[in-house]
Chain A
Amino acid sequence: MRALTHLDRLEAESIHILRETVAEADRPVMLYSIGKDSAVMLHLAKKAFFPSPLPFPLLHVDTTWKFRDMYALRDKVGGEAGTELLVYKNPEAERQAINPFDHGPLHTDMWKTEGLKQALDKYGFDAAFGGARRDEEKSRAKERVFSFRDRKHRWDPKRQRPELWSLYNVRKNKGESMRVFPLSNWTELDVWQYIMRERIEIVPLYFAAERPTVERDGLLLMVDDERFPLDGEKPVMRKVRFRTLGCYPLSGAVESEAATVEDIVAEMLLTKTSERQGRAIDKDGGSASMEKKKQEGYF
């Protein structure tokens, strides 16, 4: 008899979670952030419902500040047959031209947290899949697979529903919703191994290449377009790649030679820093900042 490998088991669990949500929620949606975790989650969803097309749309809550390579992959994915991609931009943030250079934490708050809440309310989604993993960050390590949110999208870490076995309580009253995390039990290594095994397409920015960069506040930032205000700095071509992707002015690059998924995995295994280290977003607000954001309705 065939013995299941670790990845087989993770895959089966994630598919179970995806199907359970679709069976019980009224209007599910998948948050698609274009990163490697989203890519894996989307691949799992295709497997879960094959040969049916995806029974829910993808939603990209856009900040207008993603890398150009990310938009290219997003549009390619959104154009595939059987895939419906919704793009939402917070009109208020757009009107005020909120950006990471001038507005600091307000950028994430308005584009991402507020944008997400607005989009969920606009379309009436009652369950939203997210690609977060428990190994990423310590408040995420505490979160349930099915994370209940009240009418204002808030997470109450002290009153989480008990979650026994693989029995998920998807019930809620009108206006309340669920954030669902099919990758809860995956580690960063699992994600890369799965990308390798399943040959999943990811944004090229994960691979090392010569890119124009400047160094700011200890982060190596890529000058991805002309909106990057240069303060007398001269972008330097460096061979870099990104461990996580977000808004380009907030994503720190690492110098690297990794040109294949194997190289990336080897490099990641030998590194001494965590993947979220290159993210400016986790730091504003002290050691509890992610928890606070989640309570406010962030993913």
Chain B
Amino acid sequence: MSRPLESDQDLIRRDVRAWLAEQERKELLRFITCGSVDDGKSTLIGRLLYESKQIFDDQLEALESDSKRHGTQGAKIDFALLVDGLSAEREQGITIDVAYRFFTSARRKFIVADTPGHEQYTRNMVTGASTADLAVLLVDARKGVLTQTRRHSYLAKLVGIRQFVLAVNKMDLVDYDQAAFDSICTDYCAFAEQIGIEHWAAIPVSGLGGDNIMSRSDATAWYSGPTLLEHLDSVPIDVTSDAEKPFRMPVQWVNRPNQNFRGFSGQMASGSIAPGAEVRVLPSGRTTRIDRIVTMDGNQDEAVAGQSVTLTFADEIDCSRGDVIALASDPPEAADQFEATIVWMADEELLPGRGYWLKLGTQTVTAMIQEPKYEINVNTLEHLAAKTLGLNGIGVAELATDREIVFEPYAVEGASPNKALGGFILIDKLSNTTVACGMLHFALRRALNIHRQHLDVSRETHAHLKGQKPAVLWFTGLSGAGKSTIANLVEKKLAARGRHTFLLDGDNIRHGLNRDLGFTEADRIENIRRVGEVARLMSDAGLIVLTAFISPFRAERHMVRRMVPEGEFFEIFVDTPLAEAEKRDVKGLYAKARSGELKNFTGIDSPYEPPEHAEIHIDTTALSADEAADLIVEKLVGRR
């Protein structure tokens, strides 16, 4: 916790309520410390906490004993140990993950995030930066501006930080030399200008010695600017800009305790709202008026950006989680194709074409990312050609979502960024880890202008002419599981019943439509995407389509399922144990894969993700191919 300033202690003794009221009026500044490894970030924060008397006696005692054990400062106190809270960090003397610490000055409250300098942990630096107003960028006076200094400046600017401090640290090690300081400032100035950082201040400091942190240093008589704390205390912060934008509230949760109450709960992203205001629910576009702003403390006359509220409407209109309630006269756009900057944060690289969960505000959709237009070299700011993005790669790419999302461009010239409706994360569908974050630039116009051609002969007409209900029977399973065999039998049985069918077989498609594709993960995804599109077109034509593809990834099967109208997609899991399939090895492929001749073979050196909710599960160790085919036909014909 943060302790009061010594000068306040009298007031606390006399009138604690008055003192607390003063605390309530203090502004909050959230900042990060960043920069390269060993530039002294943790030490600087430890020093700030120590000098602002935030450390309790028992913590100081622990720090002294820790310093002797793990410290890097000999007999002296190692302030970094105050912030490096993980044992791996103390052992290695590095920062792995961001630590949040709290302290107070006479004017402000501070939440400081100490972020790691290692490139490997950049994602944790971005985590800290995403909620900060200001970045303190540390530079070692002996080393000057390094790649990591530039990378962190770039990322901080990218996520919308507008105030920067260049803390030239370890001045004691260059004898407080003004020329060294000036030369670093000149260097940084050029870079700051290039990336559009408008507000930055340079301060010569020593975290170890405490120079120019809380108190002015005699050793830098040539420096006339503020100390670090003075600067943090006086730098302007934008507290009202979100409130001045038009009203938007992403709906988090529908509050429905009984038949008589239906409220929409969420945190207001921007603007203000009062009962009677006309609002629009997006993406549906329906309008109504706000009836009440409901809280446990009674109905409110007004609510502003940042507040978590529950709104009720004057009319009964549809609204659910993921929708955005906005000012009717000035609503945000909805679209399904965008350009965005993406920061990749996972070890596994971006797979263009693969479906990822995209979460933006309270909306979660499936998104496919195109090959990046370019990757950014953060050192030179050059645009490099790229086919993908690897760990810590930053690039610009187009992406498409499977349905429209309500959004606003992240970055706004001269104003605070639209974090709530412009920032998103990408989540891997299998591991569920957060693999990237991104910032939307704009919607691609073609999403607005290319409308689907209306067809006079509808899919219903096609189906009616054939006297059947279309379907896609999607057989999935290991190579040699029996997919093609069973699919063939099913098609024969359906044809015998006068059904119009077509079988898309993996090998045949690869000889034609998909002969340009190989067996890399990305190509396999594209292979399935094309087959899915063809199957969908054929089902639009009224056919019962059978497909026999290994289709090893859940994400892609899910993607195809989303292409086909509900109730028409049948995932059929042809379940044969790997050992059994390998024993059969009809095409001799397993042998080749085992010998290393064939790479990326499913089941051997590439995973197969079994379906979790297949419509039909065929256990080939219990059923013959013919029995399996009968079972499938029965299910299909039996459906309503």
Contact = CB atoms under 8 A, between A and B. Distances in A.
A70 to B, nearest CB: 22
A30 to B, nearest CB: 16
A193 B22 CA distance: 12
Interface string B262-287: 01011100001000000000000000
A230 interface: no
A20 B252 contact: yes
A262 B16 contact: yes
Interface string A120-149: 000000000000001111111110000000
A201 B24 CA distance: 22
Given A1-B243, A12-B306, A273 B4 contact: no
Interface in A126-178: 134-142, 157-158, 160-167, 169, 171-173, 176
B432 interface: yes
Contacts of B87: 287-288, 291-292
B359 A167 contact: yes
Q: How large is the interface on B (under 10, 10 to 19, 20 to 34, 35 or more residues)?
A: 35 or more
B343 to A, nearest CB: 9
Contact of A48 (B265, B359, B360): B265
A167 B362 CA distance: 8
A3 B303 CA distance: 10
B57 interface: yes
Given A47-B296, A165-B131, A167-B424, A7 B24 contact: yes
Contacts of B295: 47, 50
B613 interface: no
A266 interface: yes
B634 interface: no
A136 B431 CA distance: 31
A7 to B, nearest CB: 7
A3 B345 CA distance: 36
B362 A6 contact: no
B307 A4 contact: yes
Interface stretch (B93-101, B393-401, B446-454, B526-534): B93-101
B265 A291 contact: no
A269 B3 contact: yes
Given A2-B302, A162-B124, A172 B432 contact: yes
B83 interface: yes
A46 interface: yes
B256 A52 contact: yes
B100 A169 contact: no
Contacts of A140: 85
A199 to B, nearest CB: 11
Interface in B1-44: 1-4, 9, 12-13, 16-17, 19-20, 23-26, 28
A160 B88 CA distance: 14
B42 to A, nearest CB: 11
A95 interface: no
B267 A158 contact: no
Contacts of B96: 157-158
A18 B328 CA distance: 28
Interface in A255-299: 262-263, 265-266, 269-275, 277, 287-288, 291-292
A1 B302 contact: yes
Interface stretch (A98-106, A107-115, A181-189, A208-216): A181-189
Contact of B58 (A7, A48, A53, A277): A277
Contacts of A96: none
A298 to B, nearest CB: 15
A187 B102 contact: yes
Given A165-B419, A273-B58, A51 B257 contact: yes
B359 A138 contact: no
Contacts of B72: none
Contact of B255 (A4, A49, A166): A49
B23 A193 contact: yes
B296 A265 contact: no
B294 interface: yes
Contacts of A291: 85-87
A160 B127 CA distance: 11
B247 interface: no
Contacts of A263: 16
B97 A157 contact: yes
Contacts of B272: 1
A62 interface: no
Interface in B405-432: 419-420, 423-425, 427, 431-432
Contacts of B304: 1-2, 4
Contacts of B130: 164-165
Contact of B101 (A22, A141, A272): A141
Contacts of B102: 134-135, 187
B205 interface: no
A160 B96 CA distance: 10
Nearest to A271: B56
B112 to A, nearest CB: 10
Given A46-B296, A134-B100, A157-B97, A165 B420 contact: yes
A68 interface: no
Given A160-B97, A270-B9, A138 B1 contact: no
Contact of B437 (A9, A164, A171, A288): A164
A277 B62 CA distance: 11
Q: Which of A46, A166, A193 has the most CB of B within 10 A?
A: A166
B109 interface: yes
B310 interface: yes
Contact of B57 (A158, A162, A173, A273): A273
Contacts of A15: 267, 308
A49 to B, nearest CB: 7
B345 A185 contact: no
A16 interface: yes
Given A16-B252, A47-B296, A162-B126, A187 B85 contact: no
B253 A19 contact: yes
A68 to B, nearest CB: 28
A80 interface: no
Of A137, A166, A269, most B-chain CB atoms within 10 Å = A269
Nearest to A283: B62
B252 A23 contact: yes
A142 B98 contact: yes
A188 B104 CA distance: 13
Contacts of B431: 173
A6 B109 contact: yes
Interface in A73-113: none
A8 interface: yes
Most buried by B among A13, A169, A288: A169
A266 B88 contact: no
A37 interface: no
Contacts of B2: 135, 187, 189
Interface in B39-71: 56-59, 62, 66
A274 B66 CA distance: 17
B222 interface: no
B24 A5 contact: yes
Nearest to A82: B257
Contact of B257 (A53, A135, A269, A273): A53
Contact of B16 (A6, A12, A265, A292): A265
Nearest to A288: B87
A222 B111 CA distance: 36
A269 B3 CA distance: 6
A48 B308 contact: yes
Given A6-B23, A167-B423, A269-B19, 4 more contacts: A19-B252, A19-B266, A52-B256, A142-B98
10 contacts: A1-B240, A3-B240, A4-B304, A23-B321, A47-B296, A50-B310, A135-B1, A162-B345, A274-B58, A291-B86
Interface of A: 1-9, 11-13, 15-16, 19-20, 22-23, 46-53, 134-142, 157-158, 160-167, 169, 171-173, 176, 184-185, 187-189, 193, 196, 262-263, 265-266, 269-275, 277, 287-288, 291-292
Q: Which are the 5 A-B pairs with shortest beta-carbon distances?
A: A138-B85, A188-B1, A15-B308, A288-B87, A52-B257
